Amino acid sequence: MINLELIRTDPDAVKRAAHAKRVDIDIDHLVELDREVRRSTEQLDTLRHGLKQASKQVGAGGEGRQVAKELGDRVRAAEQANRELRARFDALLARVPNILAPEVPEGDDDRDNLEVRTWSTPRTFDFPVRDHLELMLGLGMVNLDGPRKFAGGRSYALTGPGALLELAVLRYALDTVVGRGFTPVIPPVIVREQALFGTGFFPGSREETYQLPADDLYLVGTSEVGLVAMHSDSILAEEQLPLRYAGWSTCFRREAGAAGRDSRGLYRVHQFTKVEQVVICHADPAVSEREHYGLLDNSETILQSLGLPYRVALACSGETGLGQYRKHEVETWMPGRDSYSETHSCSTLLDFQARRSRIRYRAGGRNEFAFTLNNTAVASPRILVAIVENYQNADGSVTVPEVLRPYLNGLEVITR
């Protein structure tokens, strides 16, 4: 959540951010609720003080028993009213969006994103282009029919070279970012509600999240949740920062309502594997901006070394999530879709997650809320879509990108 002082001192800035992000929230009502909570708390403190004084009189000479009883009843009633008021306030505050970086363009959806740059030129084929599903089925890289019998729609099993190619690209991405100073982590993928609230996925993304009702637990859609939550309710030493993590995890998303061409093949599935970059750093916008572009560079380096054409776009306000201050989307060229399609999302959240997760660090004799950032290093099977489609050959085989061959015992071409 954002700093409450900003809402109190500059509510118009928060209103502008909400409008730009297309978030329907009544900031004026929130400000009034804040005043009511403070008035209620002051009244409660006064009653508690009065009860304390009356209780002393009862203990000293037995006088004032009736006064103390009446004050006790009033305190309990005031406490209940205060709790209810705070609950209403907290529920509304949790829906307040973060402010936006000045350079973020206003817009409704990805059509309004601002293209920043492209890398390489999409390949021109001199034979009919196959999509990834045709290629992978033909090469024994994926099984759809079997898994969908027992696991339902959008289920799949990577098989043979498909499984090995996923492991190769994930390990290559992990090795790349670890080589740049990131600590590898395999975090839990089953978490409590607070972890999802703390990272800003709740309350807004409940419909996208798988729940385990019997245990009151949830499956994560990104290892970002666990990497940030590891430090919840903690005070870090300043010299620990920045913390840079590379999280490897299976991820789960319901993809409620997704349809159309995205539902074919492996582009949009319920279960996938991802290497995610997460940074926890000083509460300094300049430091945060530097870390943001460092995360972006890591992902671009991976795509360039894989030889995959891509473009980088600055997400417009309507595409920037509740807690995001700045977001770049990296879209990789996919010949089967004849378009650039999202494969990476690089986000700066300032102290939005740290406030919700209570992550602080000690600096200059005081505790400061840290800043957090994240970006995909690589996500599979979506990255496999780009690899097999861009590296396909006329005979239906797929050439293995050179940087992945050491992870595949030197295999150069996947054939049937």
Helix axis angle for 27-61 and 65-93, nearest 10°, is 160
Q: Is residue 103 included in any domain, yes or no?
A: no
Whole-angstrom Cα distance, residue 89 to residue 32?
9
Nearest to 237 by CA among 115, 354, 361: 361
SS3 408: helix
Q: Is residue 319 included in any domain, yes or no?
A: yes
Whole-angstrom Cα distance, residue 297 to residue 8?
37
The pLDDT-based confidence of 65 (bands split at 50, 70, 90) is confident
Q: Is residue 205 included in any domain, yes or no?
A: yes
Higher-pLDDT residue of 188 and 55 is 188
Q: What is the per-residue pLDDT for 59?
A: 58
Nearest to 398 by CA among 129, 119, 122, 143: 129
In angstroms, how far apart are the furthest CA atoms of the chain?
Answer: 101
Q: What is the per-residue pLDDT for 64?
A: 67
Task: Count up the domains in the chain and report the number.
Answer: 2
Q: Are 131 and 261 in contact (CB under 8 A)?
A: no
Q: Which domain, by its residues, includes 79?
A: 4-93
- 122 with 71, same domain? no
Which residue spans within 282-355 are E strands per DSSP? 310-314, 326-334, 339-348
Q: Give 392's DSSP letter.
A: B
Token pair for residue 195? 């972890």
Q: Is 143 exposed, middle or buried (0-12, 13-18, 19+ CB in 10 A)?
A: middle
Q: Which domain-ending residue is among 64, 93, 122?
A: 93
- The answer to which of 72-76, 253-257, 276-280, 367-371 has the lowest mean pLDDT is 253-257
Token pair for residue 206? 């409940």
Q: Is residue 382 included in any domain, yes or no?
A: yes
> For residue 18, which amino acid is it?
A
Q: What is the per-residue pLDDT for 260?
A: 62
Model confidence, pTM: 0.94
Encode pLDDT of 108-124 as tens digits.
Answer: 999 999 999 999 999 99
Phi, psi of 206 (to 5 degrees): -60, -40
Q: Report how far apart, in Å, the C-alpha atoms of 283 and of each of 104, 279, 293 are.
A: 20, 12, 16
Radius of gyration of the chain (CA): 26
Q: Is residue 390 included in any domain, yes or no?
A: yes
Neighbours of 125 (CB within 10 A): 14
Q: Which domain-ending residue is among 41, 64, 93?
A: 93
Mean per-residue pLDDT of the chain = 95
In this model, does residue 209 exceed pLDDT 60? yes
For range 23-46, the mean pLDDT = 96
Residues with active-site annotation: 253, 268, 342, 345, 382
- 63 with 141, same domain? no
- 40 with 120, same domain? no
CATH number, domain containing residue 67? 1.10.287.40
Whole-angstrom Cα distance, residue 404 to residue 340?
22
- 44 with 166, same domain? no
Q: What is the per-residue pLDDT for 263?
A: 73
- 89 with 117, same domain? no
Q: Is residue 102 included in any domain, yes or no?
A: no
Question: Which secondary-structure segment (H or E) carries 15?
Answer: helix 11-20
Nearest to 226 by CA among 260, 208, 205, 201: 201
For range 297-306, the mean pLDDT = 98
- 287 with 357, same domain? yes
- 145 with 76, same domain? no
Q: Is residue 100 included in any domain, yes or no?
A: no
Nearest to 30 by CA among 88, 76, 100, 72: 88
Q: Is residue 101 included in any domain, yes or no?
A: no
Nearest to 409 by CA among 161, 142, 159: 161
In this model, does residue 283 exceed pLDDT 90? yes
Only one residue has tokens 């027992």, namely 150
Whole-angstrom Cα distance, residue 395 to residue 398?
9
Encode pLDDT of 326-383 as tens digits.
Answer: 999 999 999 999 999 999 999 999 999 999 999 999 998 999 999 999 999 999 999 9
- 225 with 135, same domain? yes
- 283 with 389, same domain? yes
**Helix, strand, coil % over all residues of the chain, rounded to 5:** 45, 20, 35
- 85 with 132, same domain? no
- 67 with 119, same domain? no
Q: What is the per-residue pLDDT for 352?
A: 98
Q: Which domain-ending residue is among 93, 119, 140?
A: 93
- 211 with 62, same domain? no
CATH number, domain containing residue 330? 3.30.930.10
